[in-house]
Amino acid sequence: MELDIIREVDPFIAETIEKELKRQQNTIELIASENFTSKAVMAACGTVLTNKYAEGKPHKRFYNGCGNIDLIEELAQKRACELFGMDHANVQPHSGAQANMAVFLYALKPGDTVLSMDLSNGGHLSHGSPVNFSGMYFNIISYGVNEQGEIDYDEVQKLALEHKPKLVLAGASNYSKIIDFKRFKEIADSVGAYFMVDIAHIAGLIAGGVHPSPAPYADFVTTTTHKTLRGPRGGIIMCKEEHAMGIDKALFPGTQGGPLEHIIAAKAIALLEASKPEFKKYAEQIVKNAKALANGLMDETMDIIGGCTENHVMTLDLRKFNKTGKDIANVLEKVGITANKNTVPNDPQSPFVTSGVRLGTAAVTTRGFVEEDMTEVAKIIASAVFSSDNELGLANLRERSSKLCAKYPLY
């Protein structure tokens, strides 16, 4: 029905949306930062709430007519606090990067030192990359991972004592192990630093009880809502009560104008869904599927950074095959699997080429895949790597991935 309405006005957009739906339906989605929302979350994104300007906080708006908007936003705040055990939540960030920007604006002054994970080792652009605002305006000291793909907490402590950061940041865009938030907090306290955690990738796992929570330790917690949390594209900032007023001001008017209230409604729905018992089962299955995929790949002689995964994500290391992440990601798309090129620790290739491919299991788990399916996916991936120049072989692999997609219809 919605497409019929769009088609009347803009046939090209309607047709392209239909093509994208078919692509998603007929593709095994292994991009770790993507997921499929519920129909309820998706529906909320297209409501009349998109018409309303609501700069400011609930009951302290710069526009009239926000009574209903206030109710929705307050509910989203309440659900975020309850789900993650935090004192205060601001649900207005348009993205995770903007949530991180607001924390930096509140907690730091230009030139202050931040200790965070290096992008090439699994960190995020907004944690201090030199091409991002965070790296342009602050002094970034980076920690990485060891040969086992694990954070060396003793090294982090050493760097903290040497550089005396104002902010210690934990969290990553590509880290496959459980993060020790308690140890990070001890490191931050040892130098009198704020402790910030970006849980964008693991928010759904925390909500589902399969990853420890940073709530007892962190001053600030940021997240996206569209990855393992399975909500709309957007962000949330949570913090201790003592920082609430400052964080709110750092977001608006500090970094944003009017909030996207239709997206906030969708966030509220996703947070409700994440509080249900069935979401816990979902989170548990994400981890089971990730372990099955990693083990399946290693059974096929593939290398996984760190030799295992403890969450939803892993990095396929292609160095021994003399193949690049860019090439293999393109090959996988030919066989009906979407993933993204990604650096490996001490990568000899550039970030635009890479020696690895990042894989995640949140989206396929939403779709209904279980362990035996992930074993088949691992075989398809390995065969694609081995026969990347064999068009007939790739066509056969495409048929195998199509059968899996047909087994679990999407929408």
Q: Which residues are catalytic?
A: 53, 55, 198, 224, 227, 233
Contact in structure between 42 and 59 (CB atoms under 8 Å): no
**CA distance to 54, 95, 110, 199, 242, per residue, from 165 (Å):** 36, 25, 13, 20, 21
Non-local CB neighbours of 186 within 8 Å, separated by 6+ positions: none
Beta strands in 270-345 (DSSP E): 303-304, 313-317, 337-338, 340-342
Contact in structure between 314 and 305 (CB atoms under 8 Å): yes
Tokens (6 digits) for 122: 């699994």
In DSSP notation, 257-288 reads: SS--HHHHHHHHHHHHHHTSHHHHHHHHHHHH
Contact in structure between 376 and 399 (CB atoms under 8 Å): no
Q: Which of 253, 250, 203 is nearest to 225 (CA)?
A: 203
Q: Which of 192, 134, 131, 182 is nearest to 161 (CA)?
A: 192
373's enclosing H/E stretch is helix 371-386
**CA distance to 127, 155, 342, 378, per residue, from 299 (Å):** 35, 33, 22, 9
Query: Strands 194-198 and 220-224: what pairing?
Result: parallel
Q: Which amino acid is at 344?
A: V
Measured CA to CA, the distance from residue 313 to residue 161 in angstroms comes to 31
Contact in structure between 63 and 54 (CB atoms under 8 Å): yes
Measured CA to CA, the distance from residue 320 to residue 397 in angstroms comes to 22
105's enclosing H/E stretch is helix 96-107
